[in-house]
Amino acid sequence: MDIIRAIEQQQIKDVTPFNVGDTVRVHYRIVEGNRERIQVFQGDVIRRHGHGARETFTVRKISFGVGVERTFPVHSPKIDKIEVAREGKVRRAKLYYLRNKVGKAAKIKEKAFN
């Protein structure tokens, strides 16, 4: 079991801390043929799952009136960087209820700093 943990420890990279409810910009590296480009996916984090090298998070955004969700591994080598655009104030660990909300009802309050 310690061998597995040692291998996983090598895979883990230093990531910007973020929580469920935050609005994040994920810079994701895409390879098309022999070219490589970075695509930005911005949305609200609706869940974090797992731990260690297998940890994932799901980001939801509305694109042209359609809800789009994408799940990313936190420690993926294809993720260039994760930027926190806004910190949200939520009371739940999983924000699946946002799937049924439309417009202003789907907004997440911003965390107030005193």
Predicted local distance difference test score (pLDDT) of residue 15: 85
Whole-number pLDDT of residue 39? 95
- Does domain 2-101 fall into CATH 2.70.70.10? no
For residue 46, the model assigns a pLDDT of 96
One pLDDT digit (tens) per residue for the chain, 114 residues? 688 888 888 888 888 899 999 999 999 999 999 999 999 999 999 999 998 888 999 999 999 989 999 999 999 989 999 999 999 999 999 999 999 988 889 889 988 876
C-alpha to C-alpha distance for 6 and 90, rounded to whole angstroms: 35
Contact yes or no for 59/69 (Cβ under 8 A)? yes
Mapping DSSP to helix (H, G, I), strand (E, B) and coil, where does residue 50 land? coil
Q: Concatenate the DSSP letters of all residues of 17-44 into one string.
A: ---TT-EEEEEEEEEETTEEEEEEEEEE
Q: Give the pLDDT confidence score for residue 98 in this predicted structure.
A: 92
Give the separation between CA 74 and CA 50, rounded to whole angstroms: 10
DSSP-based three-state secondary structure for 57: strand
- Spans of all domains in the chain: 2-101
Please state the pTM of the whole predicted model.
0.87
What pLDDT is recorded for position 8?
A: 83
Q: Output b/e per residue, 71-82; b: 16+ Cβ within 10 A.
A: ebebbeeebeeb
Beta bridge partners of 36: 31
**pLDDT value, residue 114:** 64
pLDDT at 99: 92
